[in-house]
Amino acid sequence: MTRAHRCLIAGALLMSGLAARAGLEGVNRTERPPLRRPLSSLPMELGDWVGRDEAVEPSIVERAQTTEYLNRVYESRTRPGLRLTLWVNYSEKGTNLRHTPEICLPSGGWEKVESQTRVFEVPSPNGDALKLTRLGYSKGELVKQVGFWYYIFGEGKLENYVRQLPITSRSSHAQTTKGSSMTVETFHPGEQDPDGAALKDFARSLLVALEPILPEARAEYYVP
């Protein structure tokens, strides 16, 4: 076999390999669904709660790697003085999963209070129960509680299954996704809602209001 023949064969093999790779990437390509409505369309009134928007420093928005976000304070009508800060972060590329309470709060000097960690179930509009995690963090004499769950949009059933396995569920929140994603976090002083009743009430109303905003192809997660 001449050198020219060997070069032709090598070139053909290379081209076929590249074509096969491109074909596999096409098969495995995941859509990154946008939100059906802007986050700003979320009502200011959610059941018992009345909200107002709060500005966010541009540097924080940049670090959050967000495509669209909402930062709003909701106050309870029936529980005077009880306020929840709602932070919703949607990312078309899924990069917001790198910025969750377990990562960002300790880097800001907050120490996790393990005894305050709880998992709550809240009825969702589709009839299923959504799980969310409540976390506690302290800094000096200050204690705050954080409600947390997140969505991934556009991934297939296999990816959803793998993310829920014990070996991957605890680490997947810090990794990007093939689809788009949205994190939901609430913040409030720890002494205001020790049993989580207010958080569950707020989450129940929030889920109803989020329904027309979220893409239909979605999976829900709660492990931080």
Give the tens place of pLDDT for each residue, 29-80: 567 899 999 999 999 999 999 999 999 999 989 988 899 999 999 999 999 9
Amino acid, res. 132: L
pLDDT on residue 100: 83
- Worst-scoring range by mean pLDDT, 56-60, 102-106, 143-147, 206-210? 102-106
Look up residue 13 and give its DSSP letter: H
> Residue 112 pLDDT > 50, yes or no?
yes
pLDDT on residue 154: 87
Q: What phi and psi values does residue 32 have, to the nearest 5 degrees?
A: -115, 80
> Residue 170 pLDDT > 70, yes or no?
no
Name the more confident of 168 and 29.
29
- CA 11 to chain centroid, in Å, comes to 45
Q: How far is 144 from 138, CA to CA, in rounded Å? A: 6
Q: Decide: pTM greater than 0.85.
A: no
Q: What is the mean pLDDT of the chain?
A: 84
Record the tokens describing residue 192, joined without a space: 């205001």
Q: Residues 6 or more apart from 85 whose CB is under 8 A from it? A: 54, 71, 72, 73, 74, 186, 187, 188
pLDDT on residue 30: 61
Q: How far is 106 from 101, CA to CA, in rounded Å? A: 8
pLDDT on residue 77: 96
Give the mean pLDDT of 101-117.
91
Say if residue 83 is exposed, middle or buried (CB neighbours under 10 Å; 0-12, 13-18, 19+): middle
| pLDDT class of 139 with cuts at 50, 70, 90 | very high
Which pLDDT tens digit goes with each residue over 184-193? 999 999 889 9
pLDDT on residue 97: 84
pLDDT on residue 31: 79
Record the tokens describing residue 112, joined without a space: 């996790």
Owner of token pair 């409600």: 147
| pLDDT class of 126 with cuts at 50, 70, 90 | confident
